[in-house]
Amino acid sequence: MNKSINILDKEYLQWVKDLCGRYRQSQIKAAVKVNVEQLKFNWLLGRDIVELHVEERWGESVITQLSKDLREAIPNAAGLSKSNIYYCRKFYLLYKDALKTFHQLGGKNETELFHQVGGIFEVPWRHHCLIMDKVKDDIDKALFYVHQTVENGWSRSMLLNFISTDLYERQGKALTNFTKTLPDAMSDLAQELTKDPYNFAFTGITGRYNERLLKNALLNNITRFLIELGTGFAYVGKEYRLEIGETENFIDLLFYNLSLSCYVVVEVKIGKFAFADIGQLGGYVVACNHLLRKEGRDNPTIGLLICKEKDRIQAQYALESSSQPLGISEYDLEKFYPEKVEGTMPTIEEIEAKLRDN
C-alpha cells in the first residue's frame, strides 16, 4: 500500500537539509571538476536512497516530495527532477558491487573510489543515463561501455551507435590463433581489437553485390569503416601491390594499427570460408613481414579474413594449421546504423523544461 509522507518528519527534514548542503559544496568544487563533482553528488544521493531505505521509511511518494523540496531549496539547480533522482538510485545500484570490490582490495573510503574505480567517474552523466537505460542491470556490459567511452572519447551519439550495434557482444570475438603465434601482451590486445561479426551496414548495400563492390563501398565510407575496425587503425591502401619474386600480388586492404605497432592485412570474401583462404592470407602476412615490416619498429604482421559466413570447426582447423597470427570473422550488412543520432534523445534538462511548460 502506498504510504503518504509526513513532510514535517524531523529525520526527513534533516536529510533534505544535508542534501542541500552537500549539493552546494559540490557546486563550489564544480568550477574545477564539473563532471566528477556532479557524479559524486549523484552517487551519494543514490546511496542514501538505497542504504537509508527512504522509500520504506517515508513512503513511495518520498522521491516526488524530495524533488520538490530540493528544487525549492536550490532553485537554480539542474538535475533534481524526480526522474533524475531515480537515475541516481539506479546509478548506485548498478555500480555498488564495484565499491565492494574496491573495499576488498584495500580501498578505504568513497573519495578514493571516485579517483580509482574503472572510469565510472570519468564519464558524463548523460552518458551514464544512456548506459543505464540500455544495459539494465548488467554491470559487466555497463563497465565495458564506460571503459570504451573513456578510452575512445566517445560522444553520446557514438556511444548510442555502438550500443545499438551490439559492440559488447561482438568485441574480441573473432576466431584467432593469436595466443599461439603472438607474445602474451600483444595477443591479448590483438584479440580485443577483433570483432565478430563486423557490421558493414553503413555501406548501404542491400541487393546483389560482388567483392569489388563491397570493398569500394567500404572505402567510400572509410571513416565509418575505420571506426568499425576499432582503436588505432590507419588506412594504408586498397589492392596493395606486393612484388613477391617475379609475381605481382594484391592485398585486398592493408592497414597499420598504432596500438599494436603492426601491419594488418584484411581480406574480404563475400562467400563462405574455405581452407584455401587461410593459405592466401598467411602468404600475404609473411610477405608483409619480409617487404614492409621494419625490424625494431614494427611487431609481426597480423592477418584478418572477413567473410560472409564460416563453419567454426573448419575455421578453427585452418587456424591451427598456420604459424602466422590470423583471425577469421564474419560480416553483417543488415544492422541499422542511425543516420542522425545527436539530438534524437532529449537531455534531462530538456525533459524538465518540457514538464515545466506543461
Are residues 76 and 221 located together in one domain of the fold?
no
Main-chain dihedrals φ then ψ at residue 199, nearest 5 degrees: -100, 110
319 pLDDT more than 90:
yes
Q: What is the pLDDT of residue 9?
A: 72
Q: How far is CA 120 from the centre of its chain?
A: 13
Query: Per the domain annotation, does 82 fall within a domain?
Result: yes
- Least confident segment among 201-210, 225-234, 287-296, 338-347: 338-347
Q: What is the pLDDT of residue 15?
A: 84
Are residues 175 and 164 located together in one domain of the fold?
no
Number of structural domains, the chain? 3
105 pLDDT more than 50:
no
Calpha distance 326→318 (Å, rounded): 10
- Least confident segment among 77-81, 88-92, 349-353: 349-353
- Mean pLDDT of all residues in 163-173: 94
Calpha distance 62→5 (Å, rounded): 6
Count of alpha carbons within 13 angstroms of residue 131, beta-carbon side: 30
Are residues 153 and 224 located together in one domain of the fold?
no
Number of H-type helices and E-type strands within the chain? 17, 7
Are residues 83 and 62 located together in one domain of the fold?
yes
67-79 residue pLDDT tens: 999 999 998 888 8
175 pLDDT more than 80:
yes
Beta bridge partners of 330: 307
Query: Per the domain annotation, does 290 fall within a domain?
Result: yes
Confidence of residue 334 (pLDDT cuts 50, 70, 90): confident
Query: Per the domain annotation, does 350 fall within a domain?
Result: no
- Mean pLDDT of all residues in 271-282: 96
Calpha distance 255→261 (Å, rounded): 11
Query: Per the domain annotation, does 339 fall within a domain?
Result: no
Q: Which long-range contacts (CB under 8 A, 24 or more apart) does 128-136 make?
A: 128/39, 128/87, 128/91, 129/87, 129/348, 130/156, 130/159, 130/160, 130/163, 130/345, 131/159, 131/163, 132/87, 132/90, 132/91, 132/94, 134/160, 134/163, 135/163
Confidence of residue 135 (pLDDT cuts 50, 70, 90): very high
Q: Which domain holds residue 199?
A: 170-330
Are residues 241 and 325 located together in one domain of the fold?
yes
Helix (H), strand (E) at residue 294: none
Are residues 321 and 183 located together in one domain of the fold?
yes
Q: What is the pLDDT of residue 45?
A: 94
Query: Per the domain annotation, does 145 fall within a domain?
Result: yes
Residues near 211 by beta carbon (within 8 Å), at least 6 away in sequence:
252, 268, 269, 270
Among residues 152, 168, 184, the one where a domain terminates is: 168
Are residues 143 and 203 located together in one domain of the fold?
no
Confidence of residue 32 (pLDDT cuts 50, 70, 90): very low
Are residues 134 and 263 located together in one domain of the fold?
no
Question: Which of the pair, 335 or 231, is modelled with greater confidence?
Answer: 231
Helix then strand then coil, % of the chain, to nearest 5:
55, 15, 30
Query: Per the domain annotation, does 313 fall within a domain?
Result: yes
Query: Per the domain annotation, does 346 fall within a domain?
Result: no
239 pLDDT more than 90:
yes
Confidence of residue 358 (pLDDT cuts 50, 70, 90): very low
Question: Which of the pair, 122 or 300, is modelled with greater confidence?
Answer: 300
Please tell me the pTM assigned to this model. 0.77
State the average pLDDT for the chain: 85
Are residues 280 and 192 located together in one domain of the fold?
yes
Are residues 218 and 323 located together in one domain of the fold?
yes
Query: Per the domain annotation, does 10 fall within a domain?
Result: no
Q: What is the pLDDT of residue 109?
A: 60
Are residues 164 and 243 located together in one domain of the fold?
no
- Least confident segment among 31-35, 219-223, 224-228, 342-346: 342-346
Confidence of residue 181 (pLDDT cuts 50, 70, 90): very high
8 pLDDT more than 60:
yes
Are residues 192 and 317 located together in one domain of the fold?
yes
Residues near 288 by beta carbon (within 8 Å), at least 6 away in sequence:
242, 251, 254, 263, 265, 301
Calpha distance 84→45 (Å, rounded): 11
- CATH of residue 234's domain is 3.40.1350.10
pLDDT more than 70, % of the chain: 82
